[in-house]
Amino acid sequence: MGQKVLLVEDNIIISRSLETKLKEEMFEVKPVFNGEDAIKQFDMIPYDVVLLDLMLPIKNGDEVLRHIRSKGDVPVIIISTKDSDVEKAINLGLGADDYLAKPFSMLELVARVKAVLRRSQKTT
């Protein structure tokens, strides 16, 4: 299989659509639907990239992002309906590598995933 993507999205319809598209692009995708499960899954398996919604049940995306950054430098792309410049700046400042506001095109998302993976491979 391909590179591992942890997909953290509480909307099942969006999650399934993203999972399908990423699998078509030969990524191995693990969907989770809340922040607590995201942290557990992240700690169990090494992922190549994380797609992270911010508005999640149990633990929010900010908490998940902080946890991921405390463990290393796995690329994180925020996917969120929160689209203000302030929100983007805060999360990029917390360590997100990219920020994509919903709604977005699948083509753009896949391109951004591939771009952060290219950059992360050059630095390792």
Residue 100 is given by DSSP the state E
One-character DSSP codes across 31-73: EE-SHHHHHHHHHHS--SEEEE-SS-SSS-HHHHHHHHHHH--
The pLDDT of residue 121:
84
Report the distance separating Cα 4 and Cα 2, nearest Å: 6
Q: Measure CA of the first residue to CA of the last residue in the chain; give whole Å.
A: 21
Q: Kindly indicate the confidence band of residue 106, based on its pLDDT and cuts at 50, 70 and 90.
A: very high
**Domains, the chain, with CATH or none:** 4-123 (3.40.50.2300)
CA neighbours within 13 Å on the CB side: how many for 24? Answer: 9
pLDDT(124) > 70: no
pTM: 0.95
The pLDDT of residue 123:
63
